[in-house]
Amino acid sequence: MSIQLFDLTGKRALITGSSQGIGYALAKGLAEAGAEIILNGRDVVKLKAAAESLGAKNTLAFDATDHATVRNAIDTFEAELGAIDILVNNAGMQHRAPLEDFAADAFERILKTNISSVFNVGQAAARHMIKRGAGKIINIASVQTALARPGIAPYTATKGAVANLTKGMATDWAKYGLQCNALAPGYFDTPLNAALVSDTAFSAWLEKRTPAGRWGKVEELVGACIFLSSNASSFVNGHVLYVDGGITASL
């Protein structure tokens, strides 16, 4: 199989929530594979710093939970600067609390951030991809797509929804030449997991629970993202690809 199947030269990729963490790492990896990257975030200062660090020419500062704003931003970009060939729906958040004490406003916020954003940006980008008869959408799911853990039931619900929305995207849009898949990270050392990384007891449990015996490094997600973004995955659709050190494979 030719390495050219994984070459993203000439492709343009929008990565939501890419000013830090997993989104930043994926943007960096896609750029190294040849793609022109578009960074997204709500914090303009952090977004500018990330763009300077990665040498990204384009940024889109929008709130992925705002449907009208998202559609306007993507429609304007497509009209003025050209096609978005690849979308990585990475924007997300975490909120930890016992389910019996979970605040209703926090529940609504996590739903909007983790699942409404995938619908909003996915739909806006897909409308253009459908017209061109080609496009790649990669939604960031989680090990919690398949597994639950105490204190994060709403997060688990949103990531399960991401997987099923991904399947729905594939079912509706594969006929138009789109490939819609999900990338499901296990436990990675990111700002979102900072509280867990600094918890020595949790880290010890995780190392014992994960067959690989350690936290993941964000760079280890890049290969899977390039695969799902490239011609190498031309007949992969509606799939959830776990990159988790084996945690979902083992009791």
Which residues are known catalytic residues? 155
Q: Are 110 and 77 in contact (CB under 8 A)?
A: no
| Residues 95, 106: Cα–Cα separation, whole Å | 7
Nearest-CA neighbor of 223 among 187, 251, 183?
Answer: 183
Nearest-CA neighbor of 167 among 65, 85, 236?
Answer: 236
